[in-house]
């Protein structure tokens, strides 16, 4: 059974964060995991594109009701119609979470992961709990989250 690593972060991000998310998606695919995310733009799109570049499987759990809203690198789209409430589904579908900088949606996903004891590593993301391991490279992020899983 394929396990998924969740990638969370902002819909709008810097080019450096986008590059890092792309590399992280590649590393997830190379590790044999699938990638689950919110299926939209920014960090989510960059990570999904990186995963697809290595023929990895991507799952996007989107807030709206129309699959067309997902970014073009998502293989399986789940249109929830739940808005931000879909954040819990993203976390629940993940064996571990890699967090990038983001706003309150990212914070809510981190909070859900902490409550559900789903391991988290992060790149300059919300520093709300000592259990969130700080990482600096895509390879380091994937190696550390797999060890935590």
Structural domain including 30 reads: 4-148
Report the distance separating Cα 57 and Cα 148, nearest Å: 21
DSSP one-letter code for 54? T
Number of domains the chain is built from: 1
pLDDT tens-digit readout, 107-124? 999 999 999 999 999 999
Report the distance separating Cα 65 and Cα 120, nearest Å: 28
pLDDT of residue 116: 98
What's the whole-number average pLDDT of the chain?
97
Alpha carbon 99 to its chain centroid, in Å, reads 7
pLDDT tens-digit readout, 35-91? 999 999 999 999 999 999 999 999 999 999 999 999 999 999 999 999 999 999 999
Average pLDDT over residues 133-149: 98
pLDDT of residue 2: 86
pTM as predicted: 0.97
pLDDT above 80 (res 1):
no
pLDDT of residue 146: 98
pLDDT of residue 103: 96
Report the distance separating Cα 148 and Cα 109, nearest Å: 18
pLDDT tens-digit readout, 130-139? 999 999 999 9
The CATH number assigned to the domain holding 55 equals 3.40.50.450
For tokens 């789940």, name the residue: 78
Tell me if 9 sits within 8 A of 102, measured CB to CB. Answer: yes
Tell me if 35 sits within 8 A of 23, measured CB to CB. Answer: no
Percent of the chain with pLDDT over 70: 100
């Amino acid at each position: 059974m394929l396990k998924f690593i969740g990638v969370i972060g902002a819909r709008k991000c810097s080019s450096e964060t986008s590059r890092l998310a792309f590399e992280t998606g590649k590393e997830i695919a190379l590790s044999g995991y699938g990638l689950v995310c919110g299926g939209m733009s920014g960090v989510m799109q960059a990570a999904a594109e990186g995963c697809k570049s290595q023929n990895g499987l991507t799952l996007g759990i989107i807030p709206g009701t129309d699959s067309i809203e997902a970014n073009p690198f998502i293989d399986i789209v789940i249109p929830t119609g739940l808005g931000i409430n879909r954040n819990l589904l993203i976390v629940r579908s993940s064996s571990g979470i890699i967090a990038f900088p983001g706003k309150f949606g990212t914070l809510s996903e981190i909070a859900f992961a902490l409550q559900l004891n789903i391991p988290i590593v992060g790149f300059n993301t919300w520093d709300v709990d000592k259990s969130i391991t700080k990482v600096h490279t895509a390879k380091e992020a994937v190696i550390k989250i797999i060890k935590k899983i």
